[in-house]
Structure 1
Amino acid sequence: LLRRVVKFAIKQRRGFQSRRGWRATPLTEYAKKLTRRWRQRAGTLRRERDERRATWRADTARKLRLLLRAFGAWARAREDAAEIRRDATVFFTAFLGWRGEATRLAAT
């Protein structure tokens, strides 16, 4: 960022020189102005950054909570389905086995 700022300042200075010859404002003046501006805005910038971070954290936490809840519901549904399948399997295995035995007994 600093390199970009300095490059911009140099460009500004070159533009200045082309207009005013060699009595141009030295680069340090631009640098001083820029740094003063940054210093003045530092508190605001910090507060804005903190706010952005806080909102990002809150949003991310909310998203993760929703995802976790959805996953929990999905896992529960899956478990319920598996349980129902197990019960059905047990019942039908027993029932069909018994029916097979009954027909075999009737045939003999």
Structure 2
Amino acid sequence: MNSILSTLLSLVSIISPVIVFGTSCYFLVKKSSVEAILMTIGSGIGLLVTLFYSALMPLLISSQHLAYTEVSQYYSVIGIISFIASMCFAAGFVILIINAIKKNNVFHDQFPKSNDYQ
């Protein structure tokens, strides 16, 4: 019973990556663009990394009785993969923000200001 509860509590950390990945997939379906692709790739890999950290790695450590050096090697490799995924997501998010600001400026400049007629 205690191991089931600890497993469920460790899966709580998966909620936000699932939401981010789902939102990125929804954005990709609605608008297939570079930023949507980057954000979906980054959040998908981030979700897999979170699953590895919270669910698979504790099971692997306990079943294989891995030494600290082996565990640290796994964490190092997954950390690098996680960094690359985060950079993909961040690049897509920055592109999305830049495009949204450009679109907002174009929309804002279309309407005359009240002091233009004086």
**TM-score bracket, shorter-length normalisation:** 0.3 to 0.5
Q: Highest Rg: 1 or 2?
A: 1
Q: With the length of structure 1 as denominator, give the TM-score of the two structures.
A: 0.38
Which fold has the larger relative contact order, with Cα–Cα distance below 8 Å and residues 6 or more apart in sequence?
Answer: 2
